[in-house]
Amino acid sequence: MTVMTKTRARFNLKAAAPFVALFVLIALGAFVHPKFLTFDNLVQNVATRTSFIAIIAIGATFVMASGGLDLSVGSIAAFVAGVMLIYLKSGGPEAGVGMIALAIGLAILVGAACGLANGLITTVGKIEPFIVTLGTMVILRSLFTYLANGGSISISPDLKDIYAPVYSGTFVGVPIPVLTVLAVAAVAAFLLYRTVFGRHVIAVGSNEDVARYSGIAVNRVKLWTYIIQGICVGIAITLYVPRLGSANSATGLFWELQAITAVVIGGTLLKGGTGRIAGTVAGAFLLEVIGNILTLSNVNVYLIGAVQGTIIIIAMLVQRSLMRKS
Amino acid sequence: MTVMTKTRARFNLKAAAPFVALFVLIALGAFVHPKFLTFDNLVQNVATRTSFIAIIAIGATFVMASGGLDLSVGSIAAFVAGVMLIYLKSGGPEAGVGMIALAIGLAILVGAACGLANGLITTVGKIEPFIVTLGTMVILRSLFTYLANGGSISISPDLKDIYAPVYSGTFVGVPIPVLTVLAVAAVAAFLLYRTVFGRHVIAVGSNEDVARYSGIAVNRVKLWTYIIQGICVGIAITLYVPRLGSANSATGLFWELQAITAVVIGGTLLKGGTGRIAGTVAGAFLLEVIGNILTLSNVNVYLIGAVQGTIIIIAMLVQRSLMRKS
Amino acid sequence: MSGVGAQIPVVSCQNLSHRYGPVEVLSDISLDFYQGQIHAIIGENGAGKSTLMKILAGHLRPTSGILTFDGQQVTFSSPYQAEERGIVLVHQEILLAPHLTVAQNIFLGREIRRFLAVNDAEMNAKTVRVLKDLEADIAPDDLVENLSIAQRQLVQIARALLLPQRLVIFDEPTASLTPMETDALLKLIVKIKASGVAILYISHRLPEVKLVADRVSVLRDGKLVESRSAAGLEPVDMARMMVGRDMAQLYPEKILPLLRKMAMDVDGFTVPGFVDAASFRVGFGEIVGFAGLIGAGRTELFEGLARLRPSRGNASLKGIAFQSSPKAVMESGFVYLSEDRKGKGLLLSQPLGTNLTLAALEKFQVWRVIDRPKEAAALSQAFDDFDIRAKSSDMVAGQLSGGNQQKLFLAKMMLMTPDVIVIDEPTRGVDIGAKQQIYRFIAKLAEGGKAVVVISSEMPEIIGLCHRVYVMRSGRIVAEINQDSMDEESIVVHATGAVKAVFSAVCV
Amino acid sequence: EDQKLTVAVSIPAADHGWTGGVVYHATRAAKLLEAAHPGLKIIIKTSPDGASQASALEDLTTQGINALVVLPHNSDELTGPIKKVKSKGVFITVVDRALSDPTINDLYVAGNNPELGRVAGQYMKEKLGKADIVVIRGLPIVIDEERQKGFDDAIKGSDIKVLDKQFGNWSRDDAFKVMQDYLTKFAKIDAVWCQDDDMAVGVLEAIKQSKRTDVKLVIGGAGMKDMIKKVADGDAMMPVNVLYPPAMVASALEMTVSGLYDKVPVRGKYILDATLVTKENAKEFYFPDSPF
Ligand SMILES: Nc1ncnc2c1ncn2[C@@H]1O[C@H](COP(=O)(O)OP(=O)(O)OP(=O)(O)O)[C@@H](O)[C@H]1O
Ligand SMILES: Nc1ncnc2c1ncn2[C@@H]1O[C@H](COP(=O)(O)OP(=O)(O)OP(=O)(O)O)[C@@H](O)[C@H]1O
Ligand SMILES: [Mg+2]
Ligand SMILES: [Mg+2]
């Protein structure tokens, strides 16, 4: 039949929208401070510390593409960090690389379990993910505080020094957390765009009834998106713990808002049916770049929030108007 | 034909669901502490302090019924409180009742203006309310901090004593804030259920395209829901200020989550198309009762959050399964 | 037909063209619509009928060309403006707010008030009256989300009828109606016409067109190919004008299966609230019809079997009890095609290829990766097999014309190569040429040894296609009619429960 | 001695290191005191903000209490609510933050926030003489303001130049970010003052990772055990700490209870100094079991 296709061109502009917003911001940053546009600042500092939110936001892309929402990621992060640190402490002074490897496995497992809990309550209990994950957000933070006895949990400086390179180290010049983000994004993109599961995620997010009538196990798909979210939080935490070697009740606070914002700025719609992995990573980076620029600039400290909020809204306006144009 | 209509009966059970959950909780409370079921506790204390969230949640019911979301209510609250307190302070020592009355008007006006801003950015800018109101949430809190010069804003104890009865006073035995909630709820219920505007709010939330095709000015309707939300925050703050006579950067923190939770527990769906004013008030009360029971009970301080989250999820399960049964 | 010549047309369009992006879907259309005249527009799926109607009713603005109203040039920037002048469109697609009641939907945007409040009592009363005219059994305070597709269609028609009218446009109003409602609607349309209103009528049911139309215009591929008086025009002529060639026989020859191996056996199957103890069987190679009125419970019966709704009772597929999850049922070879293609059939915001392969996606993977070339090949195959007309293959499903959506949906479910296929309203909104293709396709399935169930509200379709018919009424199977005794009257008698059918010649 | 008495403790929720320490010490002291006095019941309630604390006070009063030990979120906000509790005849002990109306409290165990800032500023002035420093503040609330003011007053007129002050939200992670960006922003930083030890954790890590050698001194505050240990071990970059012990709530609770039981008039004001912890006295302030 009449097959015309300019698919490529159109899709690319849509996908490029968050990158355009990011680019404009980076150009702005170059004016604010001469050191902004250095490898040390943009990659070694900013990109590296973006890694937690970026990885969590990649998970959130799945949840949101399927029409769900997860407000509990910050608390899952704290809880996973708590469990991981307690495990590492339990090893005493001789704990070494082997134990760290096991702890990494544990973190991912605990993250997945938290995601499983969210998914089960949402699907089996048939209640809005907003409330479910608000509930687990409160619950998990409280469990962390209980584990930490109200304070913080830290590992010994020696053990921390062994583990530290996972955050501060580089491989062929690129920080390991940045590489991790790229790897997670690649796997996620493959999963979302090239597999049956990914297609089903989009289908469930576009129209749950159609998905059900097409023989898709809707609840199973949703469940898996929450598990993936949990696994991503687990991975993020395995990068977070080596940075300071400790966690306290402020760990992960407001991460859910940052992750969701990153996903939305990246071009994924909150109502489901789309998912843009690369956009999400760009969105997470964009948020961190805004923070970086503001610290480097000389805005009144009290007004930093006002500027930040305004830039986020403007970035969204740019992004969405570009997406509509395409 | 066969299977038709018990619409009336159906509606009533649906509307009753949050009240059933509330009732169960109150029964539980009666076991926890003998003083729980007293007028002093349930009405004078709990119902009275529910008033802020209840009134804000009534506004949120409009926003959510139309398919929107407002995360900025907590920051609007802080900002309005800041403006109000600064105005009251400006009066110096002779400030009296007249000035308070003007301040109340000012609070409502500023609240409405904040709502207008949210509404305009959402509708004209065509971006998701989640991001818009996240942005204004950050912006307004920062503006408050700026107004407060990083600290808190308080009025003189004398002025506070004049204003205090608005929070602590009673009329025919009923606390004034409770009466205010009832009045606001009555007006809101009339607006939502009995006027053309209310009908259009539901239509926009149910299916925006249909609303547009039916000649409804969709953007105008949405704009008004945000303005109503802002006005409700303003009213809530006129009750909040006389309670503590001061505001700081923690004022209104997390109120948005409480308000949204109250609305959802009350039976309004997040995706729009329904709105239950009475349910919302019950939902707000339910949240505060949970907090009260936990304070009266002897749960480990660190685990209070865990219990609270669990109860919220269970309340939702009860509520939603009752709603489905009907 | 009143004295057309001297009169000023109510609405007229001149040299109207419309494009979606680079794709021209209407070119250079000039037509006049007069009061007291029923003007039928016919054409194949995707010919541009709905697009033209949307332009007339202010939903779309034409790329070029002019519209006049009572001889004055007008431009509508919203449907509301058109409605204010009395131009009302009954959409092909259901456009109702699901959370509002029937009466609230009917008066949406033009509520009757009393002081500050809405006057629900009066709106309900008016709703009752107009629904009665339509012979629709719907209460004014029913929520629209609880109505069936057909009932929603009636509500939509009722909404249009309550407006002050100069030109009423019906875009396939009867596609989901049964003969009874169709009959009532057509009578009503004739009545409205008599009151001096201009009427535009679009339908793929050509006998209906013959029955009511005064004038017939034919669109083909966005162009007006003919516009003439309906007098003396037979359905076969119309079909020829539409497709540009002579139509062969619509229904394929019935080939009765010799060996009746049982495909499914259902005994005392209940779908609570909808179907009560249904028992029936379907053999391989058979085409079994399910007839009944709106709300008879046919849809629910098969949704129950497909485990898409709670159900209980004995049912076996190829000798084994039905599986318990929708996915497992499908994998065991039973496929149900919903009547609600927009709500349950297609992902309107997703590309055509995604939609096509969605249900059978497992077949399109190599090493757990989706094989995109294979997917693309399947799409062009489906375009050919089902004659899907899309101006470009990177459209999303929602941009296809109604009939082409139906064809894409069929193609999607057929990719699962099922053994037992239940098709709910297989040709709803499909043009006559495509109908013929679909019937051929169904017959071929049966010849190939598959078991086919056809749920249809079009009586001729049931009779022309099926080997055997079950008739449902109020949630029960009330009759089984075999090939030899199959005629409209006997079906309608069972479906309505009337002693003798009160039945006009509408659905010949 | 086994007289039935109820004492309520109302404190902020454990949402960062220092408040976590407060909750820990309150809980620990409560256990010991309950063991010592069989008839004694101590109820501890934590609240995330001023308004919730006002609510918690109402609820505690409803339960019927003999004494209240309260560490208010905010003086202005809670003066009224605490006054209401007092009006029911309850013995009031205020910890750390003075109320707007000093006549309300029977006992006041005071921390001294301006002093914490002053001691840190004083030390910096004496130690460095002339220096470019950066400051990381907490959250924009009164405590932060008071500490900052004490610090600013102490360095007034000296050659200490404050390059920048931004908020680290009393969070290790946020302080880490701010410090990283400070290091990018300023080519030379001699010293860092951050308003508490939680943030110092992030600051030290950021400096360490940057491999910069210009930062010679980091001063935190509040006496977190890890930091006290550093001081005791003679850490070059962190030679001192300014004490602001969360354990003050335990002292207040002990005094209150002994006042109730022993009928010794424990009333008045006890000010805990913001002691400068040095290598010499660090051992006195090191509690390895504390969570803070
Ligand atoms: N929003 C859109 N974007 C792009 N193309 C569209 C859009 N809507 C319709 N089209 C295309 O315009 C053409 C005409 O569609 P239209 O709906 O007018 O056909 P129709 O004659 O009503 O067909 P049917 O009988 O199937 O309802 C079709 O090719 C369709 O795919
Ligand atoms: N979601 C729903 N909730 C409650 N009742 C419903 C719902 N959907 C349909 N019904 C009712 O169920 C009955 C049967 O539905 P339906 O009209 O789909 O039957 P059917 O025999 O498939 O008819 P047809 O296929 O001709 O539309 C009707 O009375 C309808 O009002
Ligand atoms: Mg059409
Ligand atoms: Mg049906």
Asked if the model's pLDDT at residue A232 lies above 90, the reply is: yes
Is B206 in the D-facing interface, judged by CB distances under 8 Å? no
Q: Give the confidence band of C68 by pLDDT, cuts at 50, 70, 90.
A: very high
Strands D130-137 and C275-283, sheet pairing:
unpaired
The Cα–Cα gap between B152 and D140 comes to: 9
| Ligand 2, atom 26: closest residue by C-alpha | C294
**CB-based contact A306 B261, cutoff 8 Å:** no
User: Is A7 in contact with C394 (Cβ distance < 8 A)?
Assistant: yes
**Residue C6 pLDDT level (bands cut at 50, 70, 90):** low
Residue C503 has pLDDT above 50, yes or no: no
Q: Which ligand is nearest to the CA of C223?
A: 1
- The tokens 């269970």 sit on which residue? B314
Q: Is the pLDDT assigned to residue A9 strictly greater than 60?
A: no
For position A5, what pLDDT does the model report?
Answer: 39
Q: Are strands C11-20 and C64-69 parallel, antiparallel or unpaired?
A: antiparallel
pLDDT confidence band for B3 (50 / 70 / 90): very low
Nearest CA-CA distance, residue D189 and chain B, Å: 25
Say yes or no to pLDDT of A326 above 60.
no
What is the enclosing helix (H) or strand (E) of A285?
helix A277-296
Are C393 and A1 a contacting pair at CB < 8 A? Answer: yes
Give the per-residue pLDDT at D134. 92
At residue D262 the predicted structure's pLDDT band, cuts being 50, 70 and 90, is: confident
Report whether A118 contacts A239 (CB < 8 A): no
Alpha-helix residue ranges (DSSP H) falling in C244-312 = 298-305
Going by DSSP bridges, is the β-strand pair C287-292/C468-473 parallel, antiparallel, or unpaired? parallel
- pLDDT tens per residue across span B202-260: 999 999 989 988 889 999 999 999 999 999 999 999 999 998 888 888 889 889 999 99
Residue D102: phi and psi, rounded to 5, are -70, -10
Are D67 and D73 in contact by the 8 Å Cβ rule? The answer is no
Closest chain C residue by Cα to residue B2: C474
Does the pLDDT of residue B267 top 50, yes or no? yes
Q: Sort residue C55 into left (φ over 0), alpha (ψ -120 to 50) or beta.
A: alpha
User: In angstroms, rounded to a whole number, what is the distance separating the alpha carbons of residues B249 and D142?
Assistant: 9
- Which of B237, B246, B295 to mutate to probe the D interface, most D CBs <10 Å? B295
CA distance B286 to chain C (A): 26
Tokens at D265, concatenated: 């008039």
Out of C326, C348, C388, name the one closest to residue A215 (CB): C326
Nearest to B150 by CA among D133, D220, A256, D152: D152
User: What's the token pair of residue C457?
Assistant: 């509200």
Nearest CB to A250: which of D15, D24, D209? D15
In chain D, residues with a C-beta closer than 8 Å to the C-beta of A149 are 20, 24, 291
Instruction: Kindly state the tokens that stand for D4.
Output: 């039935």
E-strand spans in C446-500? 451-455, 468-473, 476-482
D290/A301 Cβ within 8 A: no
Confidence of residue A12 (pLDDT cuts 50, 70, 90): low
Distance CA C279, CA C282 (A): 11
pTM for this predicted structure = 0.90
Chain length of chain A: 326
More confident residue, D288 or A303: A303
Please provide the average confidence, as pLDDT, over all residues in chain C. Answer: 87
User: Tokens standing for C237?
Assistant: 């002529």
> Rounded to whole angstroms, how far apart are CA atoms A125 and C458?
41
The pLDDT score that the predictor gives to residue A4 is 39
* C386 vs B83, residue with greater confidence: B83
Per-residue pLDDT of B177-199, as tens digits, reads 999 999 999 999 999 999 999 99
Give all domains of chain A, ordered by start, each with its CATH number: 32-325 (1.10.3470)
Residue-range domain boundaries for chain C: 11-243, 261-333+419-508, 344-417
- Measured between CA atoms, the residue of chain A closest to residue B140 is A306
* Chain D residues closer than 8 Å to B38 by CB: 62
pLDDT at C2: 45
Nearest residue of C to residue B8, measured between CA atoms: C141
DSSP string for residues in D181-233: HHHHH-S---EEEESSHHHHHHHHHHHHHHT-----EEE--S--HHHHHHHHT
Both structure tokens of A140: 């998990």
Find out whether the beta carbon of C150 lies less than 6 Å from any atom of ligand 2: yes
Place of tokens 């004659």: C387
Give the residue, by CA position, lying nearest to ligand 1 atom 10: C399
Question: C276: which 2 tokens?
Answer: 């009560």
Calculate how far, in angstroms, residue B8's C-alpha sits from the geometric centre of ligand 2: 20
Q: One fold for both C11-243 and C261-333+419-508? A: yes
Mean pLDDT of the region A148-161: 85
DSSP state of D269: E
Give the pLDDT confidence score for residue C507 in this predicted structure.
38
Q: What is the mean pLDDT of residues A196-215?
A: 95
Q: What percent of chain C has pLDDT over 90?
A: 43
Proportion of chain C above pLDDT 70, given as a percent:
96
Tell me the average pLDDT across C424-429: 87
Residue C67 backbone phi and psi in degrees, to 5: -115, 140
Q: How many helices (H) and strands (E) does chain C have?
A: 16, 24
* Rounded CA Rg of chain C: 23
Report whether pLDDT(C16) > 50: yes
Q: Which contacts qualify for B7-13: CB closer than 8 Å, 24 or more apart? A: B7/C139, B7/C141, B7/C142, B7/C143, B9/B326, B10/B326, B11/B326, B13/B322, B13/B325, B13/B326
Which of D55, D61, D146, D166 should one mutate to test binding to chain B, selecting the residue with the greatest count of B CBs within 10 A? D55
Q: Which of D24, D166, D290 sits opposite A295 (nearest CB)?
A: D166
Alpha-carbon span B258 to B260, nearest angstrom: 6
Report the run of H or E that residue C277 belongs to, with start and end. strand C275-283
CA–CA separation, A31 and B82 (whole Å) = 35
* B135 compared with D64, residue with greater pLDDT: B135
* 3-state SS class at C438: helix
Q: Is D63 helix (H, G, I), strand (E, B) or coil?
A: helix
Atom of ligand 2 nearest to the CA of C297: 21
Has residue D171 got a pLDDT over 50? Answer: yes
The answer to whether C and D touch (≥3 CB pairs < 8 Å) is no
Distance C199 CA to ligand 4 centre (A): 28
Please, which residues bridge with residue D164 across strands?
A: D134
Whether the predicted pLDDT of D288 surpasses 80: no
The best mutation among C400, C407, C427, C430 to test binding of ligand 1, ranked by most ligand atoms within 8 Å of the C-beta, falls on C400
Residues of A in contact with C391 (CB under 8 A): 2, 4
pLDDT attached to residue A59 = 97
Q: How far is the CA of C400 from the centre of ligand 2 (A)?
A: 27
The pLDDT score that the predictor gives to residue C500 is 46
Four-CA torsion D185, D190, D193, D199, nearest 10 degrees: 60
Domain C261-333+419-508: CATH superfamily is: P-loop containing nucleotide triphosphate hydrolases (3.40.50.300)
Tokens at B92, concatenated: 């110096």
Confidence band for C352, pLDDT divided at 50, 70 and 90: very high
Q: Is the CB of C339 under 6 A from ligand 2?
A: yes
C296 lines ligand 2 (CB under 6 A): yes
Contacts of A40 in chain D (CB under 8 A): 184
Assign A11 a pLDDT band (cuts: 50, 70, 90).
low
H helical segments located in A154-276: 157-163, 165-168, 176-194, 196-206, 208-213, 218-244, 255-265
A143-172 mean pLDDT:
88
The pair of structure tokens assigned to B136 is 């204004």
Q: How far apart are CA C481 and CA C458, in angstroms?
A: 16
pLDDT band of C470, cuts 50, 70, 90: very high
Q: Over chain B, what is the mean pLDDT?
A: 89
Radius of gyration of the CA atoms of chain D, in A: 20
Backbone phi, psi, residue C11, to 5°: -130, 145
- pLDDT average, residue stretch D240-247: 83
Residue B309 to residue A142, Cβ atoms within 8 A: yes
The mean pLDDT of C266-293, rounded to a whole number, is 92
Give residue D64's region: left, alpha or beta (phi > 0; psi -120 to 50).
left
Tally of CB atoms within 10 A around C60: 18
Is C294's C-beta closer than 6 angstroms to any atom of ligand 2?
A: yes
The whole-angstrom separation of Cα A280 and Cα A18 is: 8
pLDDT at B9 (0 to 100) = 43
What residues in A contact B302, CB-CB < 8 Å?
A: 142, 145-146, 149-150
Cα–Cα distance measured from residue A278 to residue A275, given in angstroms and rounded to the nearest whole number: 9
Interval C254-275: pLDDT, tens: 777 766 788 899 999 999 989 9
Local confidence band at D2 (pLDDT 50, 70, 90 cut-offs)? low
B271-320: per-residue pLDDT in tens? Answer: 899 999 999 999 999 999 998 888 888 888 788 888 889 988 998 888 88
Higher pLDDT, residue B72 or D58: B72
Q: Is B3 in the pocket of ligand 2 (CB under 6 A)?
A: yes
For residue C243, pLDDT beyond 60: yes
Q: Which chains touch C (3 or more CB pairs under 8 A)?
A: A, B
Residues with CB under 6 A from ligand 1: C 20, 23, 25, 43, 45-51, 92, 390-391, 395, 399-404, 429, 431
| Model pLDDT for residues A67-106, shown as the tens digit of each residue | 999 999 999 999 999 999 999 988 877 778 889 999 999 9
- Answer whether C279's CB lies under 8 Å from C301's CB: no
The H helix count followed by the E strand count for chain B is: 15, 4
> Look-up: residue for tokens 């880490």?
D176
- Which residues on chain C are in Cβ contact (under 8 Å) with A201? none
The reported pLDDT for the residue numbered C504 is: 45
Task: Give the residue, out of C101, C271, C293, C299, with the most ligand 2 atoms within 8 A of its beta carbon, to mutate for a pocket test.
Answer: C299
A93, exposed or middle or buried, with CB in 10 Å at 0-12, 13-18, 19+?
exposed
> Which chain D residues touch B145 with a CB distance below 8 Å?
140
Q: Residue C1 — pLDDT band, cuts 50, 70, 90? A: very low
Q: Which CATH superfamily is domain C11-243 in?
A: P-loop containing nucleotide triphosphate hydrolases (3.40.50.300)
Residue C126 or residue B296, greater confidence: C126
Q: CB of C154 closer than 6 A to ligand 2?
A: no
DSSP class of residue A47 equals I
Count of CA atoms in the C-beta half-sphere (13 A) of C352: 29
Q: Is D64 on the interface with B (CB under 8 A)?
A: yes
CB pairs under 8 A between A and B: 137
Mean pLDDT of C444-473: 90
Are residues A313 and B265, on separate chains, in Cβ contact within 8 Å? no
Is B146 in contact with A265 (Cβ distance < 8 A)?
no
Whether the pLDDT of residue B1 is over 50: the answer is no
Comparison of pLDDT for C445 and C163, the residue scoring more: C445
For C115, nearest residue in chain B (alpha carbons): B195
Q: pLDDT averaged over chain D?
A: 85
Confirm if C444 and C253 have CB atoms less than 8 A apart: no
- Contact criterion met (CB < 8 Å) for A305 and B127: no
Q: What confidence category does residue C459 fall into, taking pLDDT thresholds of 50, 70 and 90?
A: confident
Structure confidence at residue D265 (pLDDT): 66
Q: Are C266 and C307 within 8 A, CB to CB?
A: no
pLDDT(A299) > 70: yes
Closest CA relative to residue B247, chosen from B99, B148, B105, B110: B148
| pLDDT at C508 > cutoff 60 | no
